[in-house]
Structure 1
Amino acid sequence: MKRTRRVKTQPAIKGQLPADPVGQRYVKRFYHAFHAIIAPVPLFGASPAWHTIDYRLQPSQLWELHQENTKLVGIRFDSTTLYATIDLDTGGDYHNLESVKKIKAALENIGIVDIVPCQSSESGGYHLVLPLEEPVHSFGLACALQQTLTDAGFQVRQGHLEIFPNVKAYCRDRPTDFNAIRVPLQAGCKSFLLDDELLAISNDVSTFLDYCDRAAYKQDLKHLKKKIEIAYKRHLKEKYRKKKSQDAEEWRKDWEKIIATGWTGFGQTNQILPVIVGYGIVFLGLLGDDLVDYAVSTATNAPGYRQYCRHQHEIKTRALDWVRCSELNDYYSAHPSYPQRLEGTFSATFAEAIAFCGHTNTKNNIVTFERCDRRLEMNLERSLKAQRRIQRVVQTLEWNGELPAGATNRAKLIREAYKQRFNKSLSQETLHKYLHLWHPTRYVADPWIENSWKDCQMGDYGHCAGTFVITDELKNAQNPCQIDDYGHFPYMKVLCLPPAAPAPQRREAAEVTELRGESERGMQLPQSENSVEEPNTVNGTNNAKPVGANSPAPPLFDNTPPPPSAPPATALLSEKEIEEIKRATRLRLQAGAYANKVLRDYRFMTGRFICGSERSRLLQIAKMQFYLDSGCNSLIAEASEWAAANPGCLPFTLSTAFL
């Protein structure tokens, strides 16, 4: 008789097959290579001492162990399997013929219409082997068998009824193994093939395999696979079913206590109504008009309502307002449940959290203009802050002469300085968004900073060697001093030496732009006729007296041009004096950064927030101490004069300040 159904070709067994043809038939159905268990044959009545082997078990080795009389062997299951086994131990609740018949009848509901019963060992336990003609999903088959037997009234438990493959636990770190079961009809363990009345009929392996092939052909695999799919979904639903936690029960009891207590004074309506509405949503699953009716009924029957509630004439309106507010804003959801996240893209979802202005229950991908504007405004603010920080870092490096010429080295140094100064990381992507702030070929240096006094040609936003030429672009540039026909020549500085005076109180940090303004203010010319002496020419050298100590300095960025009667005067300084001024300017920049570092360390030591006059005072003291340690004569003189006017402040250290 020809087969009328197609059978899938079985995958070839990997490994060395047994030489015996019977062994080859055996390992095609009963074989798994990994984590097999082995035990010596125990004495009568004793339990085997199983241990797991770590090496791969070859099919030929399994057959050799199967034929050996001194050892027992058990195997596990792969992701797919050609058989299953139901173990009924001796002395268990189901070790009888009636239970076996009930199990067989229950299994017919999932497509398993024939089984092969065996005696597992000399103890007399039963192994009900369920052969299959095609491999099926092992875990799904385990779920189907367990659910079918449980629905039929059986209890799957160790020592009574066990299923192989079992419904194994899930492990996140590594795959887990199915439980191992000894192989059927092993020599030396008194295992026999049983008939329908559970009587021994043979211990021949060939006969047992013939019974298995006949039973496998009878199974309804199409129906079984459908049941396996249904059982797997049911397992997931039951396994991860939301259950009430202990915290939820405590939450429920607290709300019930508040509702039972009711009003105890005036002005409590807006505290009690939200609890009543929330209780109806979370623990009763009420919505809409049902929730409003429940809230009104519960509130009017609560203790103290008639005595203290002043909203009795509008209690239904107040309850309706709270219900609409709770449902509109998704304050609560029925327990156990999970609030639904708005569908759509990431930005659409989290725009609601960033700029919440209310939403309806309609799930869509639309973000309103108000939310988009708010997000764009926040992005623009972050962008401007990042650009300002990059500018400060680049200007500091440029003033110190530490800005590399190459783009790669410059970007690396800027990122390191950015991290050190602001304690924030600067990504490569952010840095490349603002190439005009730092890149050698795109960065436009300020023509009025120290580096612009060198002999160089600046044109088309580039630098090259040669004599400095004032281009039309530089002529039209904003001049901080606003001096008519302003020009500068190589190796000449125009300075105004201010009198020694107490150092001014500055703000939190010495910004680069502020310090540059101080340097430029010190290089401006006084506009007083009485305070300047005309230079004399002696032996071809232009010698000028120092500017008077009382001469007023012109305001920074004064747009009013000087009168024609007061032509600008210059004071020529030597190269040594020029280098001293440049060094003092760099040290002033470093003093601001040092003072901020001292402030951060002091705040960390004290564990409190420092602000106001105390902050300004600490910054000033730290800068004066930096001036004393700088080795610059002008800064040391300034710090000494300040220390004389503020006795007891210098010398300064963090340890003494903390004490």
Structure 2
Amino acid sequence: MAVASTLQRPMFVQELDDKFLALWPHRFDFLYAPHPDPGTKPQWQTETRHPLSDRLINQGTYLYGVRFGSVTQYAMLDIDAGSPYHPRRDPLAISRISEALEPLGLLQHLILTSSDSSGLHIYFPFETPLPSWKVGLAITTLLENKGFKVMPGWLEVFPNAKAYNPIGDSLYNGHRLPLQQGSYLLNADLEPIESSGFHFLNNWETATAHNDITSETLEFVIEQAQRKIYRVSHKAEKFLNDLNAEIAVGWTGHGQTNRLLGRITMRAYIFGHILGAPEPLTGDALIGHVMQTAQSLSGFTLWCRHQNDLETKVKEWVRCIEVSHYFPYGSDKLPIDIAPAGPSWNERQQAEVRERIAKAVTELQSTNNLPDGITARFDRLTHQGISGSSLYKHKDLWHPRFMVTTAEKTGADIPPDPPNSQREALGKETPTHSSQAYWENGCNTLQDNRSTAIETDKKDGAGCNNAPAPVSPVPPQVRQQIQQAIAAAQTERKVQQRSYIDDYLDQLQLNFETETVRWAHSEDPIFEAEAKLRQKPKDDEL
């Protein structure tokens, strides 16, 4: 039985006579949503199991959207109804957008309502297939160079200007197909006109004939994009790009609201006036901007569980950012006092904590209540009102390992070296070889024959002998081996003790950090506040 050597991606059934559907060739990872109730937004989802077929589109059970493949023959701009570039707010914005794209060779377009929300989709078709990422980057660059802010809710470019990924697992943003519910062709006066597939194709082909975009022109604009800089420093530009990268994806699952709101608030507070606001955003203006941006991101209605209390969440983040160390870009920093200001608040706190620990250890030692074990000592100190995190940071003041090391350095409580002989082991000093030493000890020698037995008894005292007991001296080599064995055993014991202590402390620290991380992501205000307090000393040290 023959087996295919390679697996091919499934293909959709194509209606060969439908030229309108042929305009959207990339059908993988398509979007779909049930038809929404009036006044509500569609709940978009991504289907990855099979491509979108022509027959599903014609059936019309759902709203459908498509993404871009590696190449494209059209670009599309999305202007929301609340955008500052919508004709209701700026009647000349579309003309300025068209003028900005003329250097690329895009001279004519189609305008449609995107849905019942009165948003606009502007299509720029062209003949030559071009790399999607280059088209998105070139259009985005030209628009930004003319002062337009490409961002969700204001002006979006499809295909989006995402970075090239050699792995190929990064999807382009998707857009809903035209001529579905609420989508109509508009004339030059932005009035609805006949919107059948036939009329759409006629306008599409007319615009294609006028749009002469070439790969050479595209490459030239791309080169300009590489040299484009914001009105910010290199570090600030990187910071802004990192924030944009996190925000642009929107919600992809539950549990992302806090992080996304934090990033949106940070970007708006620091770079809001750089991105188009007339002045740095603060207070109610900042709250409104954050809410509008969050609600315009993809996945908000599907995944965000704080839609009912969104304003409360946003106000909390705004209050946090306004009292933090962040400030609007370009504003003056706080004046620097060149005079010595003494220890900082954090340094004073650290000094007070160390003083409390040292005082507690001293009191426990003076009353012989300082346990020898690590856990028992740790618990005893915590009962004295000292937090566990403070004990972890200042182990040198209470931990047995560090206290033993300190004793070794100062020479306190160090046991004496092992005795060098049996006489020293019995508490006797080794006599010198001079006879004078024996006379000084009050003991007679064997050569003193003038003493009688009675006199000898009087002269003999405790520890004095006329004839010294025979002592077998320890050979130097054996003595050295004994000393080396004792020293090696002591060293090995210290190593084992320190290894055990280190492992134990590492496990305690790991448990402490794991609990802190779990609290920080619990979405519980109390746990989150406690996690911030735990992490603050570490942040201050950095």
Please indicate the TM-score interval, normalised by the length of the shorter structure. 0.3 to 0.5
TM-score normalised by structure 1 residue count: 0.35
**Larger RCO: 1 or 2 (CA < 8 Å, sep 6+):** 2
